[in-house]
Amino acid sequence: MPAANRPFIPFARPTIDEDMVSAVADTLRSLWITTGPQVQAFEKALSVMHNDRPTRVFTSATAALEVALLTIGVGPGDEVIMPAQTFFSCANAIMQTGATPVFVDVDPLTRNMDLQQAKAAITKRTKVLMPTHFAGHPMDMDALYQLAHENNLRVIEDAALAIGSRWQNQLIGSFGDIVSFSFHPNKNITTVEGGALTFASEDEAKVSEAFRFHGIKRLADGTRDVTVLGGKFNLSDVNARLGLLQLARLDEFIEKRHLLVERYFDRLQGSSLTLPFRGDKGHSWNFFAPLLPLDQLSIDRKALMDELQRHGIGTGISYEAVHLTSLYRQRGFREGDFPHAEAIGRSTLTLPLFPTLSLDEVDYVCDTLLQLLHHYKK
């Protein structure tokens, strides 16, 4: 059972204060609650933050990825190269367009897409590279864009975990091709649900608007036309108002994440766990997910997670190997295809990490986990 009087510690928790609650309430009272001035202000703030690049917001990062693909004309017959170790939404968004996800393995240290394997996977049908900045640690952006340039490929960066991350002191999303962010409650900032794209081209940003809202184009005479098969992915002003206040505190949130992660490293260094790649200050640390030494334990991951739950500690899995889900097994993928992604998927464990987590709570998580590892050691 949890320590006496100790509240349950989830693996993720949004930071919502009374100013944010009040601002959202004011937006509701305004009665302009769908897409409107708050969305425009949020898009502008995101654009300014990212070197004035054209920015559009969406109902989710999943929607943003799908729209990004459609905007650049990805469809049946095209291939999109992506890592096998990431969230399912990346592959699903590709499939929704009729294109084919082509999985490659990841670097076992950084857990980012292995660019040598990506290079080997390029065919005449390849149209896009879609890497994930794993846990907020940026890809090698120089190598990524060199590979794309050499092969005349577009890049859609899955930066769902990486708003506020930096590559060589440049914010992810402030340069490059198309970059997608997530504002889910377990991300670095939240709009409850939401996502965004930053573009290198204003023309493409405008094209994305049609895919975001029913394919509608407004005509000079005030009527509407439908030019493409669009969806319904427009963010509301209620969400955007929260996003504006969250964005203003992003640096503060990331600074706290760094402090907490340093405590995790201090407490867990030298244990039987394989700790995440540390990186540098450019890493925004959306989550902290060591690998369990399951071959040394007399307990499996689910049972260990249940034990932690009984001690008042929530955990997650970031992530299962995408190609081993039922949907993609049906497309011919099997165990052994991508060994690093599979090894990570089998043994990863996401520990609590969020800005309102205290150092004392990190110590409790570490103490409990280390005790359980010792207790169940073979």
Which tens digit of pLDDT belongs to each residue from 255-298? 999 999 999 999 999 999 999 999 889 999 999 999 999 999 99
pLDDT given for residue 1 in this prediction: 53
Structure confidence at residue 157 (pLDDT):
98
Q: Determine whether domain 250-375 maps to CATH 3.30.565.10.
A: no
Q: Is 88 buried (19+), middle (13-18) or exposed (0-12) by CB count in 10 A? A: middle
Task: Give Rg (Cα) of the chain.
Answer: 21
Percent of the chain with pLDDT over 90: 98
Set 187, 206, 281, 302: catalytic member: 187
Please report the pLDDT score of residue 240 as a whole number: 98
The separation between CA 321 and the C-alpha centre of its own chain, rounded to angstroms, equals: 15
pTM over 0.85: yes
Please tell me the predicted confidence (pLDDT) of residue 42: 98
Residue ranges of the domains in the chain? 18-248, 250-375
β 216-218/224-226 pair status = antiparallel
Q: Quote the pLDDT of residue 4.
A: 61
Report the alpha-carbon distance of residue 214 to residue 100 in Å, rounded: 24
For tokens 């590709």, the residue is 94
Say what the pLDDT of residue 5 is: 80
Q: How far apart are CA 298 and CA 219, in angstroms?
A: 67
Please give the chain's pLDDT, 378 residues, in tens: 566 688 999 999 999 999 999 999 999 999 999 999 999 999 999 999 999 999 999 999 999 999 999 999 999 999 999 999 999 999 999 999 999 999 999 999 999 999 999 999 999 999 999 999 999 999 999 999 999 999 999 999 999 999 999 999 999 999 999 999 999 999 999 999 999 999 999 999 999 999 999 999 999 999 999 999 999 999 999 999 999 999 999 999 999 999 999 999 999 999 999 999 998 899 999 999 999 999 999 999 999 999 999 999 999 999 999 999 999 999 999 999 999 999 999 999 999 999 999 999 999 999 999 999 999 999
Tell me if residue 187 is catalytic. Answer: yes
CB 194 within 8 A of CB 235: yes
Q: What is the per-residue pLDDT across 5-53, written as a single tens digit (0 to 9) for each?
A: 889 999 999 999 999 999 999 999 999 999 999 999 999 999 999 999 9
Domain 18-248 has CATH 3.40.640.10: yes
